[in-house]
Amino acid sequence: MALVRVALDARSYDILIEQGALDRAGEILRGYARKGRLVVVTDAHVARAQLPRLEASLRAANVAVEPIILPPGEQTKSWRHLEELLDALLALEIERGDHIIALGGGVIGDLVGFAASILKRGCHFIQVPTTLLAQVDSSVGGKTAINAKAGKNLIGAFYQPALVLIDPSTLDSLPPRETRAGYAEVVKYGLIDDPAFFDWCEANAGALLAGDPDARTKAIEKSVQAKAAIVADDERETSGRRALLNLGHTFGHALEADTGFSDTLLHGEGVAAGMALAFRYSARLGLCSAEDAARVTAHLKAVGLPHDLATAHVKADGPALVGHMLHDKKMAAGTLPFLLARGIGQTFLSKDVVLDDVAAFLDEERAQTGA
């Protein structure tokens, strides 16, 4: 079993990664059960595909399971489902010392984490992520949230889990498109500050996406090591270091907004196209070589991820896309911090980006790709 520690003083916790860990969950999680019981919150897809494994393992360890099954999808990160979840947890008499298990992707992890942060002024939660995106990104670092009418993730809290338990084999039941979308967040760590890991991604993406357990485990371990170090350094995104994790997200958010935050473009797919755009924009500004930008684009294209406006199914013009960026929650005092790159593994935060110039760049991209 690989173990990565998130070092945050009293809020420190472990991330455990092991192929087949779900079948040993009883042994691993037994110590967190109060009165021999654990509440597991999940969604209907994961309940079908993975909950039976977790339940069997917990029951074999004499831990009773109280499942709470929510509808799948982004709309579950809502006031309505938060209220339903809190009422269900209260009905089960959850106490402040209890640990709630979040079994699922980023939707379940973000919702359960937020519920745990406010239930009885805070109880514990354990992340058992079942999508690649959640295993390499959202289950680690304590960002929890629901969506508001005004935008995604606008209501939430920084609230760290007590433990993250990752079983790469849960990805066996994940639709391949979801795995590919999560892979964008893996590539992101190479592009931020680890060129050798980007080389590894180029060499191993095929095996990883085909389900090779060693490639998956290595990618997850490298990703959470990178994320744990960043979170330990800048838990609340105040110094600018954690903001590096938003590479591709400002462009990506605009693309997701244009496609209505729908299945047309999954979050990770928006991030993939957003990273390609961030590198090409960096090259246009003369910050990064055209070769590096082309290499990033070529890798995303090779694995079947969107890498430009056309493959992201975006119809809007440059000014309309920049209009979406103005609603970004990172907007501060009229400027939008932007992640740009001086090369692969050399991402930095720029506060000098001129949004009219970004709009002109996006219009050039539209003209070139026929979006």
Query: β-strands 124-129, 2-6: how paired?
Result: unpaired
Q: Which stretch binds ligand NAD (CB under 6 A): 1-9, 169-177, 280-288, 351-359?
A: 169-177
**Contact (CB, 8 A) for 358 and 281:** yes
Q: Per the structure block, which two tokens stand in for 269?
A: 């797919």
Minimal distance, residue 189 CB to ligand GLY, in Å? 11
Q: Which amino acid is at 109?
A: G
According to the binding rule CB under 6 A, does residue 237 interact with ligand NAD? Answer: no
Question: Which residues inside 237-266 make contact with ligand GLY, applying CB under 6 A?
Answer: 242, 245
Give 246-303 as a DSSP string: GTTHHHHHHHHHHTTSSTTS-HHHHHHHHHHHHHHHHHHTTSS-HHHHHHHHHHHHHT
Active site residue 120: no
- How far apart CA 183 and CA 300 sit, in angstroms, is 10
Q: Does 18 bind ligand NAD (CB under 6 A)?
A: no
DSSP 3-state assignment of 94?
coil
User: Is 77 tagged catalytic?
Assistant: no
Minimum distance of ligand NAD from residue 335's CB (angstroms): 23
* Residue 168 touching ligand NAD (CB under 6 A): no
Q: Is 274 in the site for ligand NAD (CB under 6 A)?
A: no
CB of 194 to ligand NAD, least distance (A): 19
Indicate the burial class of 35 (C-beta count within 10 angstroms; 0-12, 13-18, 19 or more).
exposed
- In the complex, what is the shortest distance from the CB of residue 36 to ligand NAD, in angstroms, rounded to a whole number? 27
d(CA 51, CA 287): 48
Nearer to ligand GLY, 221 or 365 (CB): 221
The CA distance from 129 to 362, in Å, is 35
**Which one of residues 267, 299, 307, 366 is an interface residue with ligand NAD (CB under 6 A)?**
267
The catalytic site residues sit at 121, 143, 185, 227, 237, 242, 246, 249, 253, 267
Which residues of this chain interact with ligand NAD, rule CB under 6 A? 43, 45-46, 49-50, 72, 74, 77, 104-108, 110, 130-131, 133-134, 137-138, 141, 143, 152-153, 170, 173-174, 178, 267
Which residues of this chain interact with ligand GLY, rule CB under 6 A? 137, 141, 143, 242, 245
